[in-house]
């Protein structure tokens, strides 16, 4: 678990510094905020759907075996972290759009990068759990 936190922190710092050193013009920042809000909201819908599939299938034999082995809890925790980061990205993007970029774009892009990393790693874990 600590390795995931370390990776998230390093990604956030790298993207934050990369975009902080080269600021974007205001017009591009608004377009980027719109894009991150749209993509994050769409990905959040996919994560919520994955959580609902896992919840609906909890009475199945395979899912009960996953619960006994501990993989089910690991997967759901990972999906909840992913949905939390995506929700944070959506909210910060909407705030930046409504209040004229009061949140710097580089913070929003760094949050989106972490969310995208979590989404991909959640998809890989979901695939591995389904194919067990």
Question: For 6-51, how does the pLDDT look when each residue is reduced to its tens digit (9 = 90+)?
Answer: 777 777 777 777 766 776 676 777 788 888 899 999 999 998 998 8
Q: Residue 24: left if φ>0, alpha if ψ -120 to 50, beta else—which one?
A: beta
The yes-or-no verdict on residue 103 having pLDDT over 90 is: no
How many Å apart are CA 28 and CA 85, to the nearest integer? 23
Q: Which domain holds residue 22?
A: 2-130
The yes-or-no verdict on residue 122 having pLDDT over 90 is: no
Q: Which of 65-69, 91-95, 121-125 bottoms out in mean pLDDT, i.e. has the lowest?
A: 65-69
pLDDT at 41: 94
Q: Which of 35-44, 62-71, 79-88, 105-114 bottoms out in mean pLDDT, i.e. has the lowest?
A: 62-71
Cβ-contact 112, 89 below 8 angstroms: yes
The total domain count for the chain is 1
Closest to 93 (Cα-Cα) out of 82, 83, 106, 84: 106
Q: What is the pTM of this model?
A: 0.77
Closest to 93 (Cα-Cα) out of 65, 112, 116, 74: 112
């Amino acid at each position: 678990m600590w390795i995931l936190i370390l990776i998230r922190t390093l990604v956030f710092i790298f993207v934050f510094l990369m975009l902080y050193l080269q600021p974007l013009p205001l017009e591009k920042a608004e377009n980027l905020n719109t894009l991150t809000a749209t993509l994050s909201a769409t990905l959040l819908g996919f994560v919520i759907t994955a959580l609902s599939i896992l919840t609906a299938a909890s009475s199945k034999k395979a899912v009960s075996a996953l619960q006994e082995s501990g993989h089910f809890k690991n997967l759901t925790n990972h999906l909840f972290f992913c949905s939390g980061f995506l929700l944070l990205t959506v909210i910060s993007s909407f705030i930046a759009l409504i209040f004229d970029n009061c949140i710097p774009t580089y913070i929003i892009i760094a949050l989106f990068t972490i969310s995208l990393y979590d989404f991909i790693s959640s998809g890989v874990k979901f695939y591995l759990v389904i194919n067990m």
